[in-house]
Structure 1
Amino acid sequence: MIGLVSWLESPGDWGRALLVAVGAYALGCLAGGYYLVRWTTGQDMRRIGSGSVGARNVSTVLGARGFAATLLWDVLKGVLAVWGARIFTGDPRMEGVALLAVLAGHLWPVQLAFRGGKGVATSLGGLLVYDPQLLLALGLLFLPPWAGLRRTILPGMIAYALLPAVAWFLEADRFRFAVVTAVTVLVLFAHRRNLVEEWTALGWGARPAVNSDKA
């Protein structure tokens, strides 16, 4: 905690954090799926399907190849942002700043009127560099609900919701715990409509039928 407070009070580190955040955010704004569809078909992904520029929505236009290309780029953005912060600063806290900033850029790209993707692929790429243990834990947490529900979104969001608890269990410092919690909040927020749809599709939100017949 003392190290975190001293870091926050250092003008030099604030300056570095700002540079890292701006660079990572700009990288996150490079929405590969949007530009791939725009260049190949002339269509605007924000007006198609869910309006997301992520891999799932891109696949509705470009199929499996579009899905794979978009997924790969979105993962790579997260990897490059956190890896770049590690190489150029050598400060784990800057890696956390980069992870949050690249995720924010992916979710809310300024050049696309702040309408981006859902953040799963980019956060996975960032976690791969930031803390591989958390990425492994995320996969393990995903498997049980997926086996029971045979769906991907709800089990994935359950896994993300439990991620801060895993970070706490692994005795992450307060800054790392805050970063992981923020990632969880951002991804869950981006999927809020999907969660409602999944909940309804499973029948959990349905009201019981009212019998109008009187005895």
Structure 2
Amino acid sequence: MSRATKRKAVNPIKEQNPSTVFQEHVVKNLGPHNALVSEYEYEHKEKPTPCWKKDMNIPQWLLITLVSLGIVVFTAFALFAAVVTLKKETNGGPCTSNSDCRQDLGLMCNNYRCGCAYSHFWSDTYQVCERRRMINRTCVNDSMCDALGNLQCSNVTLSSGAIQLQCQCQSAMSWNGYACAYQGLYNASCTQDSNCDTTRYLYCNFVVGGYCR
């Protein structure tokens, strides 16, 4: 009767990463200089810090100081600009050049006095130079109406019967869509009755081709 043989103890195989086993095999057989490095070796490694980030390591106290200094400088400049602006002359003030006047309000130096340009007027309501108004706009005096368009501030009777001051053409003139023009005399071309001198009982006659008759 045969005797039972004693079996050799077998050590359990350790669990290994297949990538590591393959790499060890390659290094053992090909040499370390020919072995490919697995991408998993770099998975948890941090990227190198750029040199410019290393140089920007500014202390917090210095950063706060620089920001505070910038705010102080900006505030001082704003106050200086405000003081210089407010020291300039407003409408009617004395001046020798445009820089003496409040140009932010549209003023300029004219005959040694600060005032609006010819195409503008001084608004007492808004305290600024406004562009002169065109036809049918409300007004208080002639300076508010466009003098280049031959407009003047005149009384206009509204449909309600009330009277209102509006910018209207001067006498013997009519509005042509751009400015007030003198009304045409006999045989002058026209497109409407207002183009003809109604004080001479002339009207636009379309039968003869649009002439004042």
TM-score normalised according to structure 2 size: 0.23
Q: Could you say which structure has the higher helix fraction? A: 1
Larger Rg: 2
Specify which structure has the bigger relative contact order, considering alpha-carbon pairs within 8 angstroms and separated by 6 or more residues.
1
Q: Could you say which structure has the higher strand fraction? A: 2
TM-score normalised according to structure 1 size: 0.22
